[in-house]
Amino acid sequence: MPFGVAKIVYCGHAVKPEASQIPAEFVKFDQLMMTSDFVIVCCAQTKENTGLLNVEAFKKMKRSAVLINTSRGGLVNQNDLYDALKSGQIWGAGLDVTSPEPLPTDHPLLTLDNCVVLPHIGSATLDARNAMSALCARNIIEALHGRPMPAQIK
């Protein structure tokens, strides 16, 4: 696997059939926290998972672990994250999303050398923006012709 990754694990509500193509192993949340070197948050924010990454989750993580959030800021309790980073409970964090967004310039996370905060630019590659523009154009064309849009919100 690229970058020397030995194993990919994930959790969620159910096993994902496409995971076998990687291959990736479905595990419970606690096992994910305890075994991962990198915890990459890639899910929608719901009532059930708001604040999911909190003091209890950080205690389960390896001291060498890195948290990366590219989903929604509300998934991470940022005060608990600050404490985990400041104390060395986890090694580092990369945040493309925060709550609120943008993060106030006086927020304590911004004072840490082991936390990188970006202004929600994870999708700002040329390829991603071109794909987003093309999809928008296809939506407009289909809507003008009275046909279902390829990315219609139901």
CA distance 33 to 56: 10
Single-letter residue type at 102: P
Give SS3 for 53.
strand
Residues forming beta bridges with residue 83, ordered by sequence position: none
Establish whether 107 is a catalytic residue.
no
Strands (E), the chain: 9-10, 25-26, 38-41, 66-69, 92-95, 115-117
The single residue of 13, 107, 120, 145 carrying the catalytic annotation is: 120
Catalytic residue positions, numbered: 120
